[in-house]
Amino acid sequence: MFQKEVYVRRREALVKSMQAAGQKGLMIFMGNIAVPSQGTVEGNGYSFRQDSTWIYFFGIDEPHWAATIDIETGEAKVFADDVDIDDIIWMGPQPSVASQAAEVGVSKSAPYHDWEKEIAAAREKGRTIHFLPQLRYYNKMRVAEAAGRPLEEFSVSMTRAVAEIRLIKEACEIEELDKVSDSGFRMHSAGRDAVRPGAREMEICGLMAGIAHSEGWGLSFATILTQHGETLHNHAHNGIVEPGKLMVIDAGVESLTHYASDHTRTYPTSGKFTTKQREIYQIVYDCNEYAFSLTKPGISYRDVHIATVKKMLEGLKALGLVKGDVDEMSAKGIGGLFMPHGLGHNMGLDVHDMEDLGENFVGYEEGQVRAKQLGLGNLRMARPLRAGHVITDEPGIYFIPDLIAKFKKEGLGYDFVNYQALEGYYDFGGIRLEDDVLVTADGARRLGTKRLPIAPDDIESIL
Ligand code: GLY
Ligand code: MN
């Protein structure tokens, strides 16, 4: 947890922003509850993961907390129950609700279920109730019921205000992100060193997860470790590493303070790239470097995505896999055939930061229209960049036989795509290379002390 002034300052900033938007009433904040895995929560629960917006404004990392903030007075009140003797028998003595609240600068507290009474009383007085889109089902049900309106009628002004504040990382957050990036470095290094023909994918995953758990809260998302990189999020780890393949490892650590890292590297399983693998790898590597070189305040990440995809198409054109004018093929969406995802996303307390609030609120400015095209339309972060944004830089090239067949069948890109040449790539797989990047006042820097080896020669020599 950070010092209490951090939470006080954040809540003040939110209240100020709501007041400036002419809003009044009460804002609801929901912590998560504990969830049973089998049997009961007490007997066998899932690892508790607190709600990220709750962590950001209230810090307390325990289940069954809720809070309100009065926009007119700025007063915050938390709702939670002190432990009783039954809890103490199983969990040991716990700090009181009041003392935990004091640690994050809140002086008013009441029993957990009083939050619903507080909302009911405010509604009776005709006050506006503001709530955010909710992620977990328990909170979805409780919030909609308490506020007396469907979840779809969440408070847009509160959602925008929260997103704007959380998008710009504070110094204390950047310190956490740097540290967890270093854990990601160690986790990825161990994974990479275990890649060799005959190794079990599960073993490599387990080794990596062990580091995530020994250095932090655990994994920041389910590890993607696959010799079928053309499947973007492949979570099956039951294979044996085969010679001559490409192994995509996309994985991250979540710190004890719940900040995420998210790196991807792709390795030739035999230790050396084939000519074909190296050619495609070089293009993805050049794209990763190029996107980073463009990243600075003022440019939109949408424009960085578009410029990077054009660079990728130039590389593919040099190999004869596409032909014609690169600007034209880019406008027609040919990039999406090879990279059907965006260049990157926001990162912070969530690996895809705040996407529970809605991708478009977080990744797009008010008025910025999201494209429909495959690839550009999948871009999760399109905003003009500002110092303090933390984003990923993760270009990739994939040869997805079903997608190629679909493009071909629908007559897409006949002027640009060399479908015959692509036939030689049906069993290629995919390559993705991802770094975590902080936008600074005059440019950008990668998070963490050291960068995972990425240049093709460096990859071969370290393998
Ligand atoms: N690292 C997984 C993703 O960004 O989707
Ligand atoms: Mn990512």
Fold of 4-167: Creatine Amidinohydrolase; Chain A, domain 1 (3.40.350)
Alpha-carbon span 377 to 17, nearest angstrom: 30
Handedness of CA 403, 294, 280, 235 (dihedral sign): negative
**For 226-251, what is each residue's pLDDT tens digit?**
999 999 988 889 999 999 999 999 99
Q: Locate 159 and state its tokens.
A: 């959602």
The mean pLDDT of 373-384, rounded to a whole number, is 97
Q: Inform me whether the pLDDT recorded for 53 exceeds 90.
A: yes
The domain spans of the chain are: 4-167, 171-462
Ligand 1 mutation pick, 187, 208, 219, 221, max ligand atoms within 8 A of CB: 221
Q: Inform me whether the pLDDT recorded for 130 exceeds 90.
A: yes
Check pocket membership of 436 for ligand 1, CB cut-off 6 A: no
Q: What is the CA radius of gyration of the chain?
A: 24
Q: Which atom of ligand 1 is nearest to the CA of 394?
A: 4
Q: How remote is the CA of residue 297 from the centroid of ligand 1, in Å?
A: 23
Fold of 171-462: Creatine Amidinohydrolase (3.90.230)
Check pocket membership of 250 for ligand 1, CB cut-off 6 A: yes
The mean pLDDT of 445-458, rounded to a whole number, is 98
**For 413-443, what is each residue's pLDDT tens digit?**
889 999 999 999 999 999 999 999 999 999 9
Q: How remote is the CA of residue 392 from the centroid of ligand 2, in Å?
A: 6
pLDDT of residue 39: 86
How many helical (H) and strand (E) elements, i.e. helices and strands, does the chain have?
18, 15
Q: Which atom of ligand 1 is nearest to the CA of 232?
A: 5
Instruction: Please list the helix, strand and coil fractions of the chain in percent, rounded to the nearest 5, in that order.
Output: 45, 15, 40
Closest residue by Cα to residue 25 from 115, 131, 130, 109: 130
Q: How confident is the model at residue 451 (pLDDT cuts 50, 70, 90)?
A: very high
Q: Which residues pair with 435 in a beta bridge?
A: 393
The mean pLDDT of 208-223, rounded to a whole number, is 98
pLDDT of residue 41: 85
Ligand 1 mutation pick, 224, 234, 432, 435, max ligand atoms within 8 A of CB: 224
Ligand 1 atom 2, closest CA:
250
Ligand 1 mutation pick, 359, 434, 435, max ligand atoms within 8 A of CB: 434
Does residue 158 contact residue 18 with C-beta atoms inside 8 Å?
A: yes
What does the buried/exposed string (b/e) look like for 128-159 if buried means 16 or more CB atoms within 10 Å of the residue's CB?
Answer: ebbbbbbbbeebeebbbebbeeeeeebbebbb
**For 308-330, what is each residue's pLDDT tens digit?**
999 999 999 999 999 999 999 99
Does residue 25 contact residue 130 with C-beta atoms inside 8 Å?
A: yes
Q: H or E element: which one contains 43? A: helix 41-44
Alpha-carbon span 255 to 317, nearest angstrom: 42
Q: How remote is the CA of residue 61 from the centroid of ligand 2, in Å?
A: 25
Q: What is the overall mean pLDDT for the chain? A: 97
Ligand 1 mutation pick, 188, 232, 250, max ligand atoms within 8 A of CB: 250
Check pocket membership of 51 for ligand 1, CB cut-off 6 A: no
**For 163-196, what is each residue's pLDDT tens digit?**
999 999 999 999 999 999 999 999 999 999 999 9
